[in-house]
Amino acid sequence: MATPSIVFLILAYSLGAIYHVPVAFVAVPTVCVLFTVASFNRRIDTIKILKTAPWQIVVFSLGMYLIVFGLGREGFTQILTDLLTYTSDFQGL
């Protein structure tokens, strides 16, 4: 089951990159399908996975994404790029 899933994901990511489809539009449906298949197969205890998953990491990751995205929209990444470019000029000193 894992090998066809990985091959499908690689193909889907490649096609998504060609057509400028966001990664989430490929990854989330694939995870949902795999999770559904796993729960019907009953080889993996999907309820236990959902209950014991470290959801704090998901919340932390979303929070960090929002912070970085917001800083980027306000121009902080451009300021940081300019600062790094300026300091890289002094590399040889």
Please give the pLDDT value at position 3: 77
Give the span between the Cα atoms of 45 and 38, in whole angstroms.
8
Q: Are residues 48 and 59 both part of a single domain?
A: no
Residues 42 and 59 in one domain: no
Reported as a single tens digit per residue, the pLDDT across 56-72 is 999 999 999 999 999 98
3 with 46, same domain?
Answer: yes
Residues 8-16, mean pLDDT to the nearest whole number: 88
Q: Which helix (H) or strand (E) is 53 found in, with range?
A: none
Q: Where residue 2 falls among pLDDT bands split at 50, 70, 90?
A: low
Measured from the Cβ of residue 74, the count of other Cβ atoms closer than 10 Å reads: 10
Residues 10 and 49: their CA atoms lie apart, in Å, by 25
What is the rounded average pLDDT for all residues in the chain?
87
What pLDDT shows up at residue 73? Answer: 92
Confidence of residue 9 (pLDDT cuts 50, 70, 90): confident
Same domain, 48 and 4: yes
